[in-house]
Amino acid sequence: MSATTEVRRIRSPLFYRLHRYGLEAVCLAIGFFLAGIAWSALLAYGIAGSRRLLGPTLVRAFSALSGLLFLYFAARIFLEGLRDLHIVAG
Residues 37 and 40: their CA atoms lie apart, in Å, by 5
For residue 14, pLDDT over 70 is answered with no
Q: What pLDDT band is residue 5 in, cutting at 50, 70 and 90?
A: low
For residue 10, pLDDT over 70 is answered with no
Q: How far apart are the first and last CA of the chain?
A: 35
CA distances to 9, 11, 72, 86, 87 from 3, rounded to whole Å, are 10, 12, 42, 38, 39
For residue 58, pLDDT over 80 is answered with yes
For residue 9, pLDDT over 70 is answered with no
28-49, pLDDT tens digit by residue? 778 888 988 898 888 788 878 8
SS (H, E, C) the chain: CCHHHHHHHHHHHHHHHHHHHHHHHHHHHHHHHHHHHHHHHHHHHHHHHHHHHHCHHHHHHHHHHHHHHHHHHHHHHHHHHHHHHHHHHC
pTM of the model: 0.45
Pick the most confident of 13-17, 41-45, 65-69. Answer: 65-69
